[in-house]
Each structure stands twice: as structure tokens, then as C-alpha cells.
Amino acid sequence: MESYLNENFGDVKAKNSSEEALQRWRKLCWVVKNPKRRFRFTANLSKRFEARAIRRSNQEKFRLAVLVSQAALQFIHGLSSDYTPPEEVTAAGFQICADELGSIVEGHDFKKLKIHGGVQSIAGKLSTSITNGISTADDALNRRKEIYGINKFTETKVPGFWIFVWEALHDMTLMILAVCAFVSLLVGIIMEGWPKGAHDGLGIVASILLVVFVTATSDYRQSLQFKDLDTEKKKITVQVTRDGQRQKISIYDLVPGDFVHLAIGDQVPADGLFISGFSLLINESSLTGESEPVHVNAENPFLLSGTKVQDGSCKMLVTTVGMRTQWGKLMATLSEGGDDETPLQVKLNGVATIIGKLGLFFAAVTFSVLVQGLFSLKLREGSHWSWSGDEALKILEFFAVAVTIVVVAVPEGLPLAVTLSLAFAMKKMMHDKALVRHLAACETMGSATTICSDKTGTLTTNHMTLVKACICGKIKEVSSTEETSCFCSEIPNFAVRILLQSIFNNTGGEIVRNIDDKIEILGTPTEAALLEFGLLLGGDFQAEQEASKIVKVEPFNSAKKQMGVVLEIPGVGFRAHSKGASEIVLAACDKFIDSNGDVVALDEASINHLKDTIDNFASEALRTLCLAYMELGSEFSAESPLPSKGYTCIAIVGIKDPVRPGVKESVAICKSAGISVRMVTGDNINTAKAIAKECGILTDEGIAIEGPVFREKSEEELQKLIPNIQVMARSSPMDKHILVKHLRTGLEEVVAVTGDGTNDAPALHEADIGLAMGIAGTEVAKESADVIIMDDNFSTIPTVAKWGRSIYVNIQKFVQFQLTVNIVALIVNFSSACLTGNAPLTAVQLLWVNMIMDTLGALALATEPPNDDLMKRSPVGRKGNFISNVMWRNIMGQSLYQFVIIWFLQTRGKAFFHLDGEDSDLILNTLIFNSFVFCQVFNEINSREMEKINVFKGILRNHVFVAVITCTVIFQIIIIQFLGAFANTYPLTMQQWIASILLGFLGMPIAAALKMIPVE
């Protein structure tokens, strides 16, 4: 079976599956009772085609708009605006309406922008202060929302409960049974009168309604869980200036007139106009499909919602929000596209198809045998030309049994159990600080064999403090105000001044006053540590920024490992500042500031002293940075690149970032679970090794390598080297990508990768499971990831792996349980029909069995919470069989036992229980039905563990399981004792009840004995 599944249903991968593969498996699933339900949680391919068409349309529209606007620019001179804002807009205190704003930005309309007086004038028309932003007084904000709308997109509403009831009624087999029930009612009432003649028909109707309502309730709860998770995924915050204060708000609270601060990796949250910024590159591929980034500046100021900041930073004026933007319209379509189906869902659809085909065959043969038996009897009696109503009812009953065999045989619940388990796990994982973006990531994480983890913020706390500095050749600890003041007094004034200028100008952070009028440092933890050090030195952020003009900025990125800025200083000229990885920036220096404050050439002794300082800082697990500057004279063009050599070293600083508590234990858990942990970091190799040893990642047999060395290796060398690499330092995003690709393709590992930066996106996309950081991660990284680690903590990753394994094992348990019921129900009804001429289990009874094994079975087994034992076994990896030999052993053993029991009752039951009289057949069939149900109840308990004998461990902690078993037993008692007229049962005596339960219970020692049989 496994080879058939892999061949026909194995094309669908955990991520990046082709649409041909997604369409192919759907075509193979032709035995489907209820397409509406079966394919509810799969991708809507038609909506995806629609979204692609919108992207193509956007691409053409924006390209045409730019060409038309540029051609129109030459005719603008002398034109005046004939635009008059609507009365309601002016009454609200604004001078431009939403439609006019939308046409300017979406249409890239330079002409209209010029006519309206440019960006500054539009800000004025939106009643926005260029320095303070908008006013947040309630009435002012409400007026803006009324005139311009809110920044929310139209979303697909969760269908109501009755919609799920309606969909559950679309089950073809249930519809056929409903017709049978109606005919049965008519014929029964005509033949036997009311109410006796209605019992069989009403029994089927009641069973159908019970199945429908239980199914609908389960599906409705799942949809609510997915809605909650979807809402959590869309939580994005941005930094804005309001009332003169810098603050973080949700993108859904943005209004036109807001000033938004964007940095590398951010998503543009609304349509808007560029106010100021440096080196801004925007990736518009999400909106237009165009991969080439767009330069945005004062000459091309248009920013579109949903696009990403690929490089640089800027301040943006929001002009258009929500459904007025093209992104809003695209999102409304994309939200209906759905998630890709997961490999397990597809495989189980394959299993359901195989068993469904067998079920159809057995149902057809069973019906044929039963009808042939009746016809043979009529022939022997010579009454084959005259048929009574009872005999017509008998044929109808045979047909109902055949249809019910199909109901039981087509395990519609198999693929849906995956969805149920995933929904349950995703909800629980959110409480464990892991937000799953793609369903497939849950099950894939259970197969992970390797984790490639970042260092900063994942293994460490990301709470950085500058603790050591080497300035003017002097090394001092500077973690407190007293130490810093003492150090400052020993350093020449010129060195202090140039250091403060570098810290406060060459930065991606800011020092602002927050809503409570307290000083707040914004920016990455590294920037915050440096800015805090600048304040301890007695520096003034605002004064330093106002003393010079920033001419050019080259933001930090992980490829260059440095950032730079060019300042224009009155009376001095242009000065460049550089900051970044110590050895890289130091290599660009040929001078340094000595203890007297003089700029002197770097000789060999000085270079060795500085290199030793870097190594000493790094060996203490400190993150090292080098700050340098260079005089550029009186001429510099903003288009010119920053110099690559000739700098003067100002200082080398060591920043402490402690290892997170519990990381060492988490790494040990991963290793005991057969998951290798590798550290991939941009830091100095000595820092990386020190942290890796502290975490338990780097062992004596392991290799620590630097990115530049790794890059130069040949394919053959990499194949030998990669299995032993435990630390990669000074790595570029491309190094990370190459490592992940080799692990996946060359070594066939299932790889999980963590990332937080924009440049990590390729590795996150390439990996089997991309794990983005929720706090430090950029929106670009999060969008490329499958799971977001909300607390940025490595200890959350083993929890995700544990949940992944739990899902995989839970689905295996459910499949084992359901296949056992399928096989026994099929064989019992088929063999009985062939050998005795009647079926022991009626339509109503089979519907109840179907509900036990389908919806209730999935609830009980697919929602089993994970236990620590899961992390003591080896991962399944890429080649593991889903239906394992262990499962086949358990399925075949239990099926054989149950078949023997049912067959014994059918052939020897009357003698064994001393049954005689006119009700003996009914009592025997009731005993068979009751024993069969209790076999399933105890087999459900057996299925909690596939290999261990103790199946009761932790059973009371799974409240869902206990509730399902209890409800099944209670309802079984009601069916037998009180609903005999409808369910074709007869009330049993206490001895018969004990015997039925005992026959079911005997399955437990049988299961324990089976588990002792070794299998490969």
C-alpha cells in the first residue's frame, strides 16, 4: 500500500507543491461520499488563478501608469488644479478626498501630485503636521475613519453552524439512506400501520441526523479554531509618529495622514508617499509578480500596500487604506485560496480511496448475494412471480445494508482527522509560543532530523549590554555609569567627540520620548546597547544629529556585515563613519587614535594588539564591533559609494548577550530525540564557539567553520564536511542557504531553519520547516516562514518538534483503529451475507459504528496531547513509511480476533447463550452488535499505544478521550436497552452484558501479546 500511495499521492510536498500535483491527487479521489466536506480544508485552486490574474493586471497597470505620468510631466507647467473636495471632506477639516488620494498613489500620477503641491502639501491637506504627525483625539481619529475608511480587508466569514449541517447532509451515501428510510416509512406504514411500521425508517432517519449533527459540530469547532489562528497570523505592528510621540500600533489602526517609519524587512502597511529616507529599495513582487526591486525616493515617491522594504529606511505618509488599495483587493481573493493540503492529508485521501473501492466492491457483492438468496428461496417455493410488501421491504433493507457498508468502508474521516489533529495542535502550540502559518509545518516538524539555529536572540537572550571597550589602545570594563565616567575622563576629548558622533549618527536606532515622556531607545538590541553606551558617555542624541547633515546611508545587512554613513559637518566637510564586524571593519583601517588623541598609522604591533583584543573579547562570548571614521574632504556625491579602505579605527567594543536559561537542556532534548543542532551565525568564530560550547552544541568531534572558508570548498569536500559541521560563523545568507540545500538533497535530512532577517528568507524558503522569530524577525522573514517562534526562544523549538511528532503518531493511532473497524465490518457483513443469507449488522447499527470510528474516534485519538517519551525516539525522517509494519501487525491481529469472535457468535452463539424462542435471532444479532461495539471501545484504548503494553498511562489527562469513551458506552446502553424498535436490538440480561463486555475486553490481552511479536 505504501508504494502505491507514494507513487500516486506522493507528489504533494510539505511546501512549494506544484499545482499539477495538487490537481492530480484530486482526480484520483473519485470514491468520495461528500466532496464539500472532504475538500473543505484544501487549496482553492480557482481562487489562486484569480489572484495571479490580479497580479498580472497590477503589473501592467502600474507599468502603464508610470509611462503615462512621466510623459505628462513635461506638460504640467502652467496647469492649475480644478479639484474641489466634497463638502463632507471640508466639513471634517480635510482638503482632499479618499478617491483623489487613491488615484494619485495607485496610478503613480506625478501630474496630480504636482498639481496638489507635492507630498508636503498633501500632508497639509490631510491635516497632518510634518513633525508631530496626526492628533489622536477621539473625534479627530473618528472623523478620519469616516472620511477615508479603516485599514482592514474584506475577509471570508466563518460559516454558521447550520451551513456545516447542510454540508454534512451532502454526503451521497446518507442521501441514499434517507431515500431508503422514506421508502421504508411509506411501505412500513402501509403494511403494518402507524407507529409499528415506521420504526425501521425512523431509526435510519434518527441515525442520519445524529451522524450529521455530530459531524457538523466537530467541523464547526475546527473552523473556529482556524479563524482564531488566522487572526493571530495577521497581527503586525508598525512604528508611527502621533502627537509628536513615536509609538507602535497595529497596522489595522492606521489612518490616512499617519507618518510610518519603515526599515529593512518591513511590509508597507498601506498606500502612501515617501517623505524622507535613504537607499530605499522596494520589492513589489507580492503585488505585481515583478521580482526587480524599485528605487523609491523624492522623484518616485509612491509606496504600495503589501510590498516589502528590501533595503534602506524611510518615513512615509499614509494616503490610502484597506479595500481602497490594490493589496486589499488581492488579499480578499487570496484569503479564499486557502492553505495547501498537507502530505498526510493527501496520503490519507489515497488510503480512503483504496478502501472505498474495496468497500464498493464488497457492497455490490453483498447486495447481489442477499438478493440472490431471497430470489433462490422464492424459486424453491415457486412464488418468484408474486412479491409481497414484506419482500419488497426486505430488498430495500438489503440495499440499505449495502449502502451502509459503503458508509463504513469509505473512511471519509481519515483525511479529516489530520485537519482535526492539526487544528487542535496549532491551538495548543499557540499557548506554547509557536504560531503555525502553514498546516503542513506541524506534521513535517515531527520528522525533523536537523535544526540550523541562529545564535543571537534564539540561543541568547537578545538583551545586550556593552560591557568592554578598547579606545585609544586602552581596554576597560564599562558596564556601569561609574566605570564609564572614569573611562571617559582617561580618553582624549577628540576621541570622545568622534566616538559619540559615530554612535549617534551611524545608527539604525533612535532615542525618543515615549507617550509617558520618558526616554526610550528604539532599534535592534545591538543598536540599543551602543546608544545606551553613548548616553553613559554623556552624549546628547538630538544635539549630535543636529550638528551635522546626513548625506548618505548604507544600512546594515548580513551580507556586508557593516553599515556606513556620510556626514556633512559645517567647517569640516564630509566625514564617513563605518561600523560592523570587527575583523571586517578593522581590515579597512590603516590608522587609529592613540592615547594622546592623535591619529597615527597602524603598525604591525598595533594591529596585533587590536586583533588580540577582538579574540579576547570573543573568547569571553562577547559580540565584538569595530567603529571607524574617514575624512572625505570638501567634495562628496550622494551617488558615490562609501570608501572601502583608508579608515581610522575609533574603538572596538564587546557586547554581552547571555545564553537563554534552559537552552542547554533543550539542545540535550533535541540530541536525545535524534535531532542534530547546528549554530549558524554572523558573529566572530571565537564568540560563536564559546556560546556553542556553553549551549552544548559544539562537541569535541564537531567542526566550527567560517563562512568564507565554507564558500571555497568543492562539492566533494562539502559532502564530507557538512555532516560534522556544528558551528558556522561569519556566515552570509547564501552560506546558510547552501548548507540547508546540501543537508536536504545530499544527506536527505529533514531540516528546520531559524531566521529573523530579510536575507534569511531564501534559507527559510528552502528549508523543510522555516522558523521565524516573532520579536526580532522582520515581516519578510515571517512571511517566508512556516512557524513563528513568538518568544524568539530556542526552547520553544523542541516543543514544536514534540507537537509535530504527536500529530504524526496520533494520526497513525487513528488510522490503525479505523482500518481495523473497516476490515472487520466489511468481512463480517460480506461473509455473513454469503454464508447465511443475511447481514448481522443493520443500517442503523452500522451508522452508529461509523460514527464511533469516524468523528468520535478522530476526536478521541487525534487530540491526544504529547508526552515526553516522544522525544526519546528517533525521528521518522524523509523515508519513513506512514502505515508501518507495527501498525499492520496490530491491525491484522485485532481484525482476526474480532472476526473470530463475531463468527463464533454467529455460528455458535445460540447454543453458547442458550437462546431459543421467536426472538432468539434478534437477541443473537444484538449480542453480536454489542460485542462488536465493545471490541471497538477496547481497541480504541489499545490504539493509544502502538508499541507499549501499558495503554492506560496518562489516560485521565486526556479529557476528550475519556469523554468520548464514556459517551459511547452510555449511548450504547441506551440503544440496546431502550431504542430496540428503532435500532433492531433487544434488551440484554446482565449476564449477556457481562459476556459482551468481556469479549470486547479480551482484545486488550490479545493486543498486549501482539506487541510482543517483533517486527522490522
DSSP secondary structure, 667-691, as one string: HHHHHHTT-EEEEE-SS-HHHHHHH
Q: Are strands 245-250 and 237-242 parallel, antiparallel or unpaired?
A: antiparallel
Residues pairing with 575 in the sheet? 567, 631
**What are the tens digits of pLDDT across the range 362-408?**
888 878 887 887 788 777 777 766 666 677 777 877 777 777 677 66
Query: CB neighbours of 103 closer than 8 A, spacing ≥ 6?
Result: 109, 112
**Average pLDDT of the segment spanning 805-822:** 87
Query: In the structure, what pLDDT confidence band is assigned to residue 319 with cuts at 50, 70 and 90?
Result: very high
Q: Which of residues 61 and 598 earns the better pLDDT score?
A: 598
Distance, in Å, from the CA atom of 610 to the CA atom of 527, rounded to the nearest integer, reads: 22
Lowest mean pLDDT among 542-551, 836-845, 851-860, 865-874: 836-845
Which CA distances in Å does 63 have to 70, 107, 324, 852? 11, 10, 19, 59
Which CA distances in Å does 474 have to 468, 495, 652? 10, 12, 10
Grid cell at residue 884: 508501518
Matching residue, cell 490503525: 816
Helix ranges, 837-949 (H): 843-851, 857-861, 885-912, 920-942
Instruction: Please give the pLDDT value at position 994.
Output: 94
Residues pairing with 471 in the sheet? 474, 651
**Average pLDDT of the segment spanning 835-849:** 74
Give the number of other CB atoms < 10 A from CB of residue 548: 19
Query: In the structure, what pLDDT confidence band is assigned to residue 781 with cuts at 50, 70 and 90?
Result: confident
Grid cell at residue 222: 475546527
Lowest mean pLDDT among 369-383, 640-654, 769-783: 369-383
Query: CB neighbours of 810 closer than 8 A, spacing ≥ 6?
Result: 421, 861, 862, 863, 864
Cα–Cα nearest to 421, from 886, 10, 813:
813
Distance, in Å, from the CA atom of 670 to the CA atom of 733, rounded to the nearest integer, reads: 24
Grid cell at residue 674: 535524534
Q: How many CA atoms lie within 13 A of 592 on its CB side?
A: 25
Matching residue, cell 479529557: 959
Angle at 806 between CA 801 and CA 809, to 5 degrees: 125
* Highest mean pLDDT (candidates 222-236, 418-432, 818-832, 1000-1014): 1000-1014
Query: CB neighbours of 461 closer than 8 A, spacing ≥ 6?
Result: 657, 658, 659, 660
Give the number of other CB atoms < 10 A from CB of residue 888: 16
**Average pLDDT of the segment spanning 759-772:** 84
Cα–Cα nearest to 832, from 937, 917, 739, 921:
921
Instruction: Please give the pLDDT value at position 318.
Output: 93
Give the number of other CB atoms < 10 A from CB of residue 27: 7
**Average pLDDT of the segment spanning 273-288:** 84
19-28 helix and 45-73 helix, angle to the nearest 10 degrees: 150
Q: Omega of the bond prior to 195 within 30 degrees of 0, cis?
A: yes
| Dihedral angle over CA of 482, 484, 487, 493, nearest 10 | -120
Instruction: Please give the pLDDT value at position 78.
Output: 47
- Percent of the chain with pLDDT strictly greater than 70: 86
Distance, in Å, from the CA atom of 863 to the CA atom of 218, rounded to the nearest integer, reads: 12
Is the CB of residue 507 less than 8 Å from the CB of residue 556?
no
Extended strands (E) in 518-669: 519-522, 549-557, 562-569, 573-581, 589-593, 599-601, 622-633, 647-656
Measured in degrees and rounded to the nearest 5, phi and psi for residue 713 equal -75, 145
Query: In the structure, what pLDDT confidence band is assigned to residue 64 with cuts at 50, 70 and 90?
Result: low
Cα–Cα nearest to 308, from 236, 373, 365:
236
843-851 helix and 172-192 helix, angle to the nearest 10 degrees: 150
**Average pLDDT of the segment spanning 349-367:** 80
Distance, in Å, from the CA atom of 408 to the CA atom of 413, rounded to the nearest integer, reads: 10
Residue 588 has pLDDT above 90, yes or no: yes
Return the DSSP state at 265.
T
- What value does the mean pLDDT of the chain take? 83
Residues with a catalytic annotation lie at 454
**What are the tens digits of pLDDT across the range 878-906?**
776 778 889 999 999 999 999 999 889 88
**Average pLDDT of the segment spanning 865-880:** 82
Grid cell at residue 187: 411501505
Distance, in Å, from the CA atom of 140 to the CA atom of 94, rounded to the nearest integer, reads: 11
**What are the tens digits of pLDDT across the range 459-500?**
888 888 899 999 998 888 887 777 777 777 888 899 999 999
Query: In the structure, what pLDDT confidence band is assigned to residue 413 with cuts at 50, 70 and 90?
Result: low
Cα–Cα nearest to 457, from 361, 366, 526, 521:
526
Three-state secondary structure call for residue 109: coil
Instruction: Please give the pLDDT value at position 613.
Output: 94
Does the CA dihedral 130-131-133-139 come out positive or negative? negative
* Highest mean pLDDT (candidates 184-188, 201-205, 287-291, 981-985): 981-985
**Average pLDDT of the segment spanning 919-941:** 91
Amino acid present at 649: C
Instruction: Please give the pLDDT value at position 349.
Output: 77
- Start-to-end Cα distance in the chain: 17
Cα–Cα nearest to 677, from 751, 619, 730, 737:
751
Query: In the structure, what pLDDT confidence band is assigned to residue 433 with cuts at 50, 70 and 90?
Result: confident
Residues pairing with 510 in the sheet? 522
Instruction: Please give the pLDDT value at position 386.
Output: 67
Query: CB neighbours of 138 closer than 8 A, spacing ≥ 6?
Result: none
Query: In the structure, what pLDDT confidence band is assigned to residue 231 with cuts at 50, 70 and 90?
Result: confident
**Average pLDDT of the segment spanning 863-892:** 84
Q: Is 922 exposed, middle or buried (0-12, 13-18, 19+ CB in 10 A)?
A: middle
Distance, in Å, from the CA atom of 543 to the CA atom of 531, rounded to the nearest integer, reads: 14
Helix ranges, 673-722 (H): 685-695, 707-711, 715-721
Task: State the Rg of the chain over Cα.
Answer: 36
Q: Are strands 725-729 and 703-706 parallel, antiparallel or unpaired?
A: parallel
Angle at 737 between CA 736 and CA 740, to 5 degrees: 85
Q: Torsion-angle region of residue 391: left (phi > 0), alpha (psi -120 to 50) or beta?
A: alpha
Residue 1006 has pLDDT above 90, yes or no: yes
Cα–Cα nearest to 887, from 955, 941, 819, 821:
819
**Average pLDDT of the segment spanning 247-263:** 89
Distance, in Å, from the CA atom of 806 to the CA atom of 843, rounded to the nearest integer, reads: 35
Is the CB of residue 474 less than 8 Å from the CB of residue 491?
yes
Grid cell at residue 762: 531564501
Q: Is 388 exposed, middle or buried (0-12, 13-18, 19+ CB in 10 A)?
A: exposed
